[in-house]
Amino acid sequence: MTTIQVHRLTKQFGSRRAVDNLTFHVRPGRVTGFLGPNGAGKSTTMRLILGLDRPTSGTATIGGRPYAAADHPLHEVGALLDAQAAHGSRSARNHLRALATSNGIGARRIEEVLEEAGIAQDAGRRVKTFSLGMRQRLGIAAALLGDPGVVLLDEPSNGLAPEGIIWIRELMKRLAREGRTVLVSSHLMNETSSFANHLVVLGRGRLLADMPMRDFLDTGNQPRVSLRTTEPDRLRTILARTGLTPVRSDEDRWSVEGTTAEQIGATAAREGIPLLELSDEQTTLEDAYLALTAREIEEESTASTTSPTSQET
Amino acid sequence: MTPTAVLHSEWIKITSVRSVRGSLLAILLSTVGFTLLAFATMSESDRAGNDLLAGAFTALNFGQLAALAFGATAMSSEYHNGALRLSLIAVPRRGLFYAAKTAVIGALALTIGWVTTFTAFLAGQALRGDQAIGLDHPGAVRACMGAGLYLALMALIATGLTALLRSAVAVLGILIPFTLLASFIFVDVSGVAQFLPDRAGQQLIHQNPTGSLGAWTGLGVTALWAALFLLIGWWSIRRRDA
């Protein structure tokens, strides 16, 4: 099985450091979400992994070797970087033929991936007549041509209609189940949480997090409970004794920070307070991500105040 | 990933884009078309005293512009919206990719170039009546073979420069004025002008090549120019981020 290894990778564009000393691994058998705002360095990192850009320092390898040394490139790695890369004057089929032929992939496989991507009936049309969603499907078809063990997709759901987004989500999960290494970048939090098992989070070119999705959500926020009760005043008095403060979050709904449904449930039962509803609030990926970036900014400001000379050097 | 497979892939890429096919065909159509036009409208006095062989290739000037356009567009289609990235994902060995691309461009331009020069020569002479010369005329076969090679070399010059500048418009904006005007500007200023790629390579369409360069040496100079531009293009493909 093939692992992508990024080691102390740095890419400088003029005075801008797009990728800053990145180290992380992408392992097979799971979908790794590559998360960060636009301009965080996700696409640059993918280009560096594929040997398209030259790193300023550091290395990126696939299965222990730089991609440029691959013997059977499309059988090892499939990638979608930019759905616009297909020349508008070529038919979709000819676009795939040109790619497939260079790697000795036959016509039958081309029809298979066209079918899989749901554009078989439009394959004879010129790419310039395609919608963004169809180009995206063509790009994914191209990535699947060589039945590769490693798949890199840069913002694959761009321009896709809802059913397309569901299709690509299920496809990525399936590829991971089949034991492939899947790295998918996105700047959309909720979408990423729907398919990724593992996260690599970038911010301004630097690694902010590299952990399983579950752990990332757990580190994100304090536990929080949402509840409804017929006796809010009594519950508030009782909870105040243990240092908890319910806050009204809705008409008759209360939210309590720093505790779990298990604890509140036990307390309420002991005191005989009727609860109409009680649940642990799920931390969303968005919450966890914002908490992470907030901590990051905090650390940065403390770092800059403790070392004021760093600006002068 | 064999060289044959990559050559085949480049063949599909180049022949599946209409504008590239169009500029290839334009080499033939413009040369033959202007040859016929020239001979159909030229009066007896215009022809008198001219180099009959060079006269047969008057329209080569138009063909070479089409050859430049073909070399530039065939390469520049890699620079639309990251097409080059996709090409290099399929063929990460940049040397193999570039060699296959230039080989297919060169081979296509040479084939069409030869079809063009022989067709233009024979079709043109068919309109000349009494003054017609045949392929048995001294230097005629040399001129046809050489002019075809010359067209292919001009296409490769444009290919190499496009790999550097990454835009067909920029390349044609430089090369077309250069080939149209430079020779007129530098004419007889010094011996240097005869070493310009178009001047040197066109020696062999003359009955008696002038200047210190001979027919084939002149084409050799053009070949050196093409090699230089292809090397510059190779440097660009190899060194720069895709």
Taken as a whole, chain A contains a residue count of: 313
B90 touches chain A (CB under 8 A): yes
**Which of B211 and B238 is assigned the larger pLDDT?**
B238
Q: Which residue of B has its CA nearest to A95?
A: B13
Point out which residues pair with A183 in neighbouring strands.
A32, A152
Contact A98 B83 (CB under 8 A): no
B86 touches chain A (CB under 8 A): yes
B80 touches chain A (CB under 8 A): yes
Give the span between the Cα atoms of A214 and A220, in whole angstroms: 10
Q: Containing domain of residue B154, as a range?
A: 3-239
Q: What percent of chain A has pLDDT over 70?
A: 95
Identify all chain A residues contacting B81, using CB atoms and an 8 Å cutoff: 82, 84-85
Candidates B4, B18, B81, B89, partner chain A, best to mutate (most A CBs within 10 A)? B89
CB A104 within 8 A of CB A177: no
Rounded to the nearest angstrom, the minimum Cα separation between B7 and chain A is 8
For the stretch A27-63, pLDDT in tens is 999 999 999 988 899 999 999 999 999 999 999 999 9
Give the span between the Cα atoms of A93 and A120, in whole angstroms: 9
Q: Is the pLDDT of residue A310 over 60?
A: no
Of the partner residues A50, A85, A90, the one whose CB lies closest to the CB of residue B16:
A90
Residue B13: burial class (beta carbons within 10 Å; 0-12, 13-18, 19+): buried
pLDDT at B50 (0 to 100): 65
> What ipTM describes this predicted complex?
0.89
| Number of domains, chain B | 1
Q: Which residue of A has its CA nearest to B95?
A: A68
Which pTM does this prediction carry? 0.87
For the stretch B142-184, pLDDT in tens is 999 999 999 999 999 999 999 999 999 999 999 988 887 776 6
Of B57, B17, B53, B18, which Cα lies nearest the Cα of B34? Answer: B57
- Strands A16-26 and A4-13, sheet pairing: antiparallel
- Chain centroid to Cα B35, Å, comes to 17
Rounded to the nearest angstrom, the minimum Cα separation between B212 and chain A is 46
Rounded to the nearest angstrom, the minimum Cα separation between B93 and chain A is 6
